[in-house]
Amino acid sequence: MLTTVCIRCGKQRIFLKKWKEKVDNRGTVITSELYICPDKDCQKIVDAKFAEMRQKRIDSEQRKANLRIKKPAVIVVA
């Protein structure tokens, strides 16, 4: 079994849960496992940091979608 360490404190992460799911309720069944830091306070900080990163990515994607490209000005040479 693959073991990992916490990205913040370096402690050995522990198994929390395992679940199976299908993407869009079709196709291959995917088995996922969730490992967490044994230090609850550290895990809260890591979760908050990931939530902040996720929100920044969503905001960036929304800004990209809302950008409008301006048409270049037409220059008339006499």
pLDDT in tens, 27-55: 889 999 999 999 999 999 999 999 999 99
pTM beyond 0.75 = no
Report angle CA 32, 34, 36 to the nearest 5 degrees. 170
When comparing pLDDT for 3 and 49, which is higher?
A: 49
Pair of tokens at residue 67: 């950008």
Pair of tokens at residue 30: 């995917």
H helix or E strand, kind and range, residue 20: strand 14-22
